[in-house]
Amino acid sequence: MPRWYRSISRQPIRQPDARLLEDLTTAFNNEGWGFIIFGKVVKFVGGPPIGYSEWIFYVPHSFISGHIYGHPSGQYFELMGQFVIHVVAIIRDDLANCTCRVCTTAAAAAQTAAVLSAPSDTSGPAAPAASSAPPAPSAPSAPSAPSAPSA
């Protein structure tokens, strides 16, 4: 085995935030979002969206693979282009309608889980609820005394 091969870490390596910002800036502008949203080429500075980070993996005999972690679902972005779509939703403050692969996959998984966790009733019609039963008849009231004639 070559010496250089042994020196490559097989553990994921967190990239500096500056690297993530450079990659995000390039992809964001290459896909035209800078002009669409801001009317100009933009440069991301400061830091990535809170909680997000880029990690690289060295795949033996193959290539370097990078992933962006930090999505609340626990899933990761495999491509910067996928992350850019999510960043657009963050910028627009519209994560509820985010169309990135991770959000749509997470939403579909949540919907499937909700359907699977719903009780399935195969025993026939359900019994009526206690509150839907007609009220019990009340006992007849005693006749009232006749009122005195008025003068």
Please say whether the beta carbons of 50 and 95 come within 8 A.
Answer: no
More confident residue, 27 or 142: 27
Tell me whether residue 80 is in a domain: yes
Q: What is the pLDDT of residue 110?
A: 76
Tell me whether residue 40 is in a domain: yes
Query: How far is 137 from 25, CA to CA, in rounded Å?
Result: 75
Domain count across the chain: 1
Confidence band for 119, pLDDT divided at 50, 70 and 90: low
Tell me whether residue 120 is in a domain: no
85-109 average pLDDT score: 92
Confidence band for 127, pLDDT divided at 50, 70 and 90: very low
**In this structure, what token pair is assigned to residue 105?**
């996959």
Confidence band for 24, pLDDT divided at 50, 70 and 90: very high
Q: What is the pLDDT of residue 146?
A: 45
Domain that holds residue 37: 15-105
Tell me whether residue 130 is in a domain: no
Model-level pTM?
0.65
Tell me whether residue 134 is in a domain: no
Q: Measuring CA to CA, which residue among 148, 73, 150, 141 is closest to residue 111?
A: 73
DSSP state of 124: S
Q: What is the pLDDT of residue 102?
A: 93
For 126, phi and psi rounded to 5 degrees?
A: -80, 150
Residues facing 67 on adjacent strands: 55
Tell me whether residue 36 is in a domain: yes
Place of tokens 């995000």: 24
Tell me whether residue 133 is in a domain: no
